[in-house]
Amino acid sequence: MAPASVTKVMTLLLIMEALDSGRITLQDTVSVSAHAAGMGGSQVFLKAGEEMSVDDLLKSLVVVSANDATVALGEYLCGSEAAFVQAMNVRARELGCENSNFVNTNGLPAENHYSCALDVAIITRELLKHEKILDYTTIWMDTIRNGEFGLSNTNRLIRFYEGANGLKTGSTSKAKFCISATAKRGELSLIAVVMGAPTKEERNALAAKLLDFGFANYEIVTPETPKEIP
């Protein structure tokens, strides 16, 4: 199915891997290309030649699903959006995601751009290994450009679902309403993926219902270590 901006869980995985490996830092300054600035849909209205830190671009990507910030980060990491997309597909195959193919970084409608709920969940699980991402996915409201531009999280579960800590929403006319929703209560961390919901409200309700089921029926259990036989 078309994943819309839930595509960005794959984009975020590559970015967080680059950050944790030291290839890039949050303090790096990115010069925005005309290509990145020309992205439609959700955006923070970057201008060609504008300079912004990786930190602010990442915040824009996560909190308001900014397509322009997403492309800018992809270009910064791999030199071009095409090279970054190739890296996305390679990493997806490494994770065993056989039902996904990406042709852009952000999920804007495109031919042959697809994923499935299981693949999204697998990629999300891998992304959550990079705990720094939660610093961004749990933001409810923030700003960039020295407080001049406000950001409000597209994931309403962050505020209204107990334990919600992420992760990515998406919607287009073709994909309808999608979400990779994450939540943690105690030691139990769950992922619920919804794709193709007819409305934003139904998407959120379905995600909450899945998470409710998980928290009601599962728990973390550590098996006792067997005693050695004398």
Active site residues: 5, 8, 65
- Matching residue, tokens 């193919």: 101
Copy the structure tokens of residue 193.
């993926």
Name the phi and psi angles at 164, rounded to 5: -60, 135
Distance CA 61, CA 51 (A): 15
By the 8 A CB rule, do 186 and 220 touch?
yes
Find the helix or strand (DSSP H, E) in which 188 lies. strand 188-197
By the 8 A CB rule, do 110 and 104 touch?
yes
User: What are the beta bridge partners of residue 142?
Assistant: 151
